[in-house]
């Protein structure tokens, strides 16, 4: 994305975050009207923008919660393992499966690192004690209030 596209997408209105494991900086915003979470990050000196509808975010979180329960789920967003189909079920692989066949599937799945950081800060997930990045969906989170948590965090720091 070039600067003009970034300005059109509202990148200047973004909140700054850092990934959990590697503390890489990224920007994000939540648009209540669209029901969309936007993530802006730099990969190999190129800007990338991924958008996630709240319905997709909930479907993935619910699926992972049903699969893993209280033991929590991993990031599972390996650049090498995703296209080979050898990645374990997790946040990245679930988003990869939803965008499979598209040319940017792996890049979109890689946003799991940013999603995890946002979810943690918004109180949507908790980190499993003693793990590098193993997350569990908090019990108070539902399809109905996921947007509220994202919106509240976004508005609290603008």
pLDDT at 4: 45
pLDDT at 21: 87
Across the range 116-127, mean pLDDT stands at 97
* pLDDT (tens digit per residue) in 75-108: 999 989 998 989 999 999 999 998 866 667 888 8
Domain range for 101 = 3-156
What's the pLDDT band for 61 if we cut at 50, 70, 90? very high
pLDDT at 107: 86
pLDDT at 133: 84
Q: For the sheet containing 134-137, what is the strand order?
A: 73-74, 134-137, 125-127
Helices (DSSP H) in the chain: which residue ranges? 3-8, 54-68, 81-84, 91-99, 105-110, 112-122, 146-156
Number of structural domains found in the chain: 1
Helices (DSSP H) in 45-145: which residue ranges? 54-68, 81-84, 91-99, 105-110, 112-122
The residue ranking higher by pLDDT, 21 or 56, is 56
Nearest residue to 60 via CA among 48, 75, 70, 71: 75
Cα separation, 17 vs 14, in Å, equals 9
Cα separation, 154 vs 64, in Å, equals 24
The residue ranking higher by pLDDT, 145 or 130, is 145
* pLDDT (tens digit per residue) in 5-22: 544 555 568 999 999 989
How high does pLDDT run on average in the chain?
A: 89
28 phi, psi to nearest 5 deg? -150, 160
CA-based radius of gyration for the chain: 15
What's the pLDDT band for 1 if we cut at 50, 70, 90? very low
Angle at 80 between CA 56 and CA 85, to 5 degrees: 60
Cα separation, 116 vs 153, in Å, equals 14
- CB 125 within 8 Å of CB 137: yes
pLDDT at 12: 67
Cα separation, 129 vs 115, in Å, equals 19
């Amino acid at each position: 994305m070039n600067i003009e596209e970034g300005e059109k997408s509202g990148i200047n209105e973004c909140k700054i975050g850092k990934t959990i494991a590697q503390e890489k900086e990224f920007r994000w915003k939540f648009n209540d009207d669209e029901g969309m979470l936007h993530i802006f990050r730099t990969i190999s000196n190129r800007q990338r923008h991924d958008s996630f509808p709240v319905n997709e975010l909930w479907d993935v979180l619910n699926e992972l919660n049903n699969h893993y329960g209280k033991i929590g789920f991993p990031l599972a967003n390996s650049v090498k393992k995703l296209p080979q189909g050898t990645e374990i079920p997790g946040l990245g692989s679930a988003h990869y499966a939803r965008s499979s066949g598209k040319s940017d599937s792996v890049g979109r799945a890689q946003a799991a690192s940013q999603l995890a950081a946002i979810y943690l800060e918004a109180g949507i997930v908790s980190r499993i004690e003693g793990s590098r990045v193993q997350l569990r969906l908090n019990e108070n989170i539902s399809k109905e209030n996921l947007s509220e948590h994202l919106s509240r965090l976004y508005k609290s720091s603008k």
